């Protein structure tokens, strides 16, 4: 049994979605002056590896703080869509779908994280792919790219409108490919917010 | 098997440690204007249920982003120190200590969360208690009160100086008392920071 971290570090040089504000870090206390360090962070909640709650796209939708641990931890499988610009129903093993509550989509796009292309030419999920996840009662879908779609966000709305949480900007999903038995924990702090940075960890093997 | 959430929600009315700045929330995008909601949050990283990394008190110490999942997930037991103003070596079952990597200290102080008394008269850990955790190789100690000690922070320094992470402001630890078999997951987002809000979840029973 071992753990695999699927999370980009949230550093001082985080890239953001075009148009979003960059995070600002402020040293609010120092060991020299106060006896301890405290950093203050001002950031949009959709930076780096983060989770979208329904409220991100659904008027009056639920916040991250509304979701219990049962929704955030569970058996997972990986859709291997390496280098595909669109992820379609053909990429989905529907048998495997019935065994899990979390689906991770591997495209390898995380290699461009921090480059301009990352937020420009990223792959998308087909609406039919998203609908199949909803039908199967999937609770979380995780992506190694920045968004499941573009305006007008039909895939986002399909998923979030059906309480399927979306994790964006994962990394290192290829490390999971050799494993059948995968448990994923995606635990955001309990913010009353439409999204937040999240640590995503997989436990694999026996 | 079931999950128990030990995390205070991070709401719009969060109390903070006296002298710290209150979190500020800003609606950076709305569904009406932008097609989606995005909240921007400005906050010190030691608000609500949060984790201290060594860098909080140790010059040049490690950040949260430096700790792998193995350090953040593990078997746990609860020290029952209900209503005790000081938690001492006598409260610690040293046999149980050898079976776990995470220790949670239950005092019931979380009932005062949001009241002035909460940050004023909170209980403390004895230095000898902290030393025993260090000796046993414990990786995380979690408290249902705001800090293991007061100035000059000898307990903080003992723990953090030995890479024992501290989780402060837990809630609901009494729900764990009936259980022997407890696994705790304390996963902060992967911030390059001295601390951060964290979701803490226990998995109990069989």
- Residue pair B37/B64 in contact (Cβ under 8 Å)? The answer is no
DSSP B150: -
SS3 content of chain A, % helix, strand, coil (to 5): 25, 30, 45
Q: Which chain A residue has its CA at the smallest distance from B73's CA?
A: A3
- pLDDT at position B206: 62
B70-103 core/surface letters (b: 16 or more CB in 10 A; e: else): ebbbbebbbbbbeebeebeeebbeeeebeebbbb
- pLDDT at position B19: 84
Q: How many CA atoms lie within 13 A of A31 on its CB side?
A: 12
Q: How many angstroms separate the CA of residue B98 from the nearest CA in chain A? A: 20
Span B176-183, average pLDDT = 96
Give B79-135 pLDDT, tens digit per residue: 999 999 999 999 999 888 999 999 999 999 999 999 999 999 999 999 999 999 999
CB A154: neighbour CB atoms within 10 A? 14
Q: Which chain A residue has its CA at the smallest distance from B33's CA?
A: A57
Q: Strands A86-87, B2-5: parallel, antiparallel or unpaired by DSSP?
A: unpaired
The C-alpha torsion from A130 through A6 and A72 to B133, rounded to 10°, is: 180
- Residue pair B146/B118 in contact (Cβ under 8 Å)? The answer is yes
CB contact under 8 A, A191 and B185: no
- Residue pair A176/A204 in contact (Cβ under 8 Å)? The answer is yes
Contacts with B69 from chain A: Cβ below 8 Å: 3-5, 201, 203
- pLDDT at position A143: 99
The ranges assigned to domains in chain B are 2-14+45-204
Contacts with A73 from chain B: Cβ below 8 Å: 3, 185, 201, 203
Span B34-42, average pLDDT = 95
Q: Which chain A residue has its CA at the smallest distance from B201's CA?
A: A69
Distance CA A31, CA B122 (A): 23
CB contact under 8 A, A37 and B21: no
Give A72-114 pLDDT, tens digit per residue: 999 999 999 999 999 999 999 988 899 999 999 999 999 999 9
CA distances in angstroms from A135 to A101, A131, A164, B40, B187, listed in the order given: 12, 6, 11, 33, 30
Q: What is the ipTM of this complex?
A: 0.96
Weakly modelled stretches of chain A, pLDDT under 70: 206
Beta bridge partners of residue A143, listed in sequence order: A105
Distance CA A132, CA A91 (A): 11
* Nearest by Cα to A202 from B182, B50, B138, B185: B185
Distance CA A135, CA B3 (A): 25
- pLDDT at position A206: 62
Residue B20 binned pLDDT confidence (cut-offs 50, 70, 90): confident
- Residue pair A82/A108 in contact (Cβ under 8 Å)? The answer is yes
* Nearest by Cα to B117 from B125, B126, B108: B108
CATH of A2-14+45-204, one of 3.50.30.50, 1.10.3210.10, 3.30.70.420, 3.30.590.20: 3.50.30.50
């Amino acid at each position: 049994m071992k753990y695999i971290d699927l999370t980009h570090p949230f550093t001082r040089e985080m890239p953001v979605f075009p148009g979003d504000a960059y995070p600002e870090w402020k040293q609010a206390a120092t060991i020299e002056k106060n006896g301890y360090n405290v950093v203050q962070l001002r950031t949009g909640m959709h930076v780096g590896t983060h989770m979208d709650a329904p409220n991100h796209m659904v008027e009056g939708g639920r916040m991250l703080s509304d979701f219990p641990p049962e929704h955030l931890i569970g058996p997972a499988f990986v859709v291997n869509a390496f280098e595909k610009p669109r992820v379609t129903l053909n990429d989905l093993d529907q048998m495997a779908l019935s065994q899990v509550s979390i689906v991770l989509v591997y495209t390898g796009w995380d290699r461009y994280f921090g480059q301009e292309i990352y937020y420009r030419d990223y792959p998308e999920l087909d609406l039919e792919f998203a609908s199949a996840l909803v039908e199967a009662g999937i609770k979380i879908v995780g992506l190694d790219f920045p968004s499941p779609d573009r305006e007008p966000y039909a895939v986002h709305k399909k998923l979030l409108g059906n309480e399927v949480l979306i994790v964006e900007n994962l990394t290192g999903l290829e490390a999971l490919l050799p494993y059948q038995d995968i448990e994923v924990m995606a635990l955001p702090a309990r913010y009353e917010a439409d999204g937040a940075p999240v640590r995503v960890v997989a436990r694999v093997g026996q």
